[in-house]
Structure formats: structure tokens, C-alpha cells
Amino acid sequence: MRLTDPVADFLSRIRNAIRARHQKVDIPASRLKAELARILKEEGYIANFKVVEEDGHKIIRVYLKYSNSNEAAITNVARVSSPGCRVYVRRSEIPRVLGGLGINILTTPRGVMTGRQARREGVGGEILCEVW
């Protein structure tokens, strides 16, 4: 089966695993998904991730993060730009997620980064998703 939107699949697997209270979730690997996982870890939304190889296929194993009261660090994730409707923004148009409580992840000419980093570096790009 060929996925038409691997980023949406990545986000859905994380969303579903959190709702089912899983400790970890396996996702087929790609460089873009590894970058998304890196940003989620840096921003404190997941505990950890690692790229492992099973049966000749690389997968990203994402370890989800919960508080002591079993609250997930991620409340929700939403895909913004999709293959059928790309959403590009200039650096001055990068939206804030929940008044700064969440993050958005962009692909820019300087790589994958959060909206805050893109604003600081003065670059725009395609908004992949929002996390809060």
C-alpha cells in the first residue's frame, strides 16, 4: 500500500497511541518523519525516539510522554498543509498556536523547524502541522 500523506499517517499514529495510552508507537521511517520526531522531543512533547531496523525496514519508535497523573504531554496534533492543499507562509505570517502554548512545525529552505525558530531566523515555509 502506498501512502499519499505520510506526515498525516505519522500524526495519526501518535494521536491514536496517546488516546489508547500506549507507551510507544512504531512508525515507518523517513528523514522528514525523523525530523518531526526530533522537534517533538526537543519541545518536550515526547519522551524519546529512535530509528531501528526490523525485517529490513527502518522504523521510528516513538516513546510517548505522560505526566504523573497520566496526562499526555500532547493534547492534540493537527495537519495544516496537505498534499492537495499546501499552506505556505512568509515569516511575518507564521501563526501562533493557542497563543504560544502550542507549536507549529514548518519545512523551510533551512530545514524542518518550529514556527518560533523560523520567526527568529527570518524564514517562511510550508506549515506541516500544529501540536498542543
What is the per-residue pLDDT across 63-106, written as a single tens digit (0 to 9) for each? 999 999 999 999 999 999 999 999 999 999 999 999 989 999 99
φ and ψ at residue 25, rounded to 5 degrees: -140, 140
Q: Which three cell numbers stand for residue 114?
A: 518550529
pLDDT for 47 equals: 97
Number of domains in the chain: 2
pTM of structure: 0.93
Residue 14 belongs to a domain = yes
- Domain final residue pick, 64, 88, 111: 64
Q: How far apart are CA 14 and CA 25, in angstroms?
A: 7
CB 15 within 8 A of CB 81: no
pLDDT for 3 equals: 78
Residue 70 belongs to a domain = no
CATH code assigned at 99? 3.30.1490.10
In terms of Cα–Cα distance, which of 99, 90, 100, 95 is closest to 129?
95
Residue 101 belongs to a domain = yes
Q: Which domain holds residue 41?
A: 6-64
pLDDT for 1 equals: 61
Residue 69 belongs to a domain = no
Residues 81 and 45 grouped into a single domain: no
Residues 60 and 90 grouped into a single domain: no
6-19 pLDDT, tens digit each:
999 999 999 999 99
Residue 127 belongs to a domain = yes
Helices 31-42 and 6-19: crossing angle, nearest 10°?
40
- Domain final residue pick, 64, 90, 112: 64
Mean pLDDT of 58-63: 98
